[in-house]
Structure 1
């Protein structure tokens, strides 16, 4: 993969963005690496490209992160932390109303599937790293489990008796729609994600 290919208009972070340049070097490196790992994979991205996109250099990158693997782990943890921000956002929008929060969650995940960020960094890295004993799989598994626990709690607070089963069903719909959206074209079954999630919630709420 060439540098020209990596400096693609589809990449969300660009080295020429003034707002990005003003951020601390560590944050710029993390943001750039996360986007490159998510869109191009681990193996296709070298530290030179990451440093260039972050308006930095390899020396600075290695000062903050001892290796590419350490940087990848930091990216995964950052992604997991940002993902969990949704729960506070839902509470802020609908304080004390878990049922509305659950339906707002459906809107949020539908937007994710139909956005440029539909590919999940955690899922992509898990697929690319074939060694099941590699340390990054523990980071990914912990992040996914934490999200599942939060979703289950939201379903329970929304009055669903079988909250864990509903949370698992919604997760399967969401994760499946993410994958299908990247392979089935614009008319794929992911188009029915919102309706399917709401139907599932209604079925469990009876």
Structure 2
């Protein structure tokens, strides 16, 4: 197995395990067992578990933002694209195995102990905020609206993760609709 295949298998296993059970509950031996990558190779690819967590969050960030943008871009009209963010969140919250926001979860587990993981989480949140800022600007809304839309989305993510309900997405969507209309 070449390094790129081993890396992808390790990341696939890490994502399933870290997201499903939590980062601290999963050891490198668990990732080895789930991936079929030897422990020696796993440590060659990721010299520390922290590096594997960073890589998992980075790869998930790329996919998450690409999927969100693809969904939103299918909508016509700037204001409709803003509301589509919350529609997409509702679809995400309804996926089997949804356990809340991977970055919030990782930050809650490791943020105080791991500067690299905290920075990876901050980079994801910063990129999401910038995306919402760009949607608000495209709609001709005041600059502050992007941050308010971000807080609505983040609140929906936390609430959905805790309650196991998709309802926070529609509630945040309605609040965003009122905010956009008022702005």
Q: Shorter-chain TM-score: what band?
A: 0.7 to 0.9
Whether 1:146 and 2:122 are equivalent positions in the alignment is no
Which residue is equivalent to 1:11? Answer: none
2:103·2:121 contact (CA, 8 Å) conserved in 1? yes
Which residue is equivalent to 2:57? Answer: 76
- Greater RCO (Cα-Cα under 8 Å, separation 6 or more): 2
Which residue is equivalent to 2:72? Answer: 90
Query: May I ask how many residue pairs the two structures share in their alignment?
Result: 178
Aligned positions of 1:31-180 closer than 5 A = 31-85=12-66, 86-91=68-73, 93-94=74-75, 97-115=77-95, 116-131=97-112, 134-160=115-141, 162-163=142-143, 165-180=144-159
Larger-gyration structure (1/2): 1
Q: CA deviation at 1:191?
A: 5.4
Secondary structure of 2:26's match? coil
Cα root mean square deviation, aligned = 2.5
* Uncovered stretches (5+) of structure 2, i.e. residues with no partner: none
* Uncovered stretches (5+) of structure 1, i.e. residues with no partner: 1-22
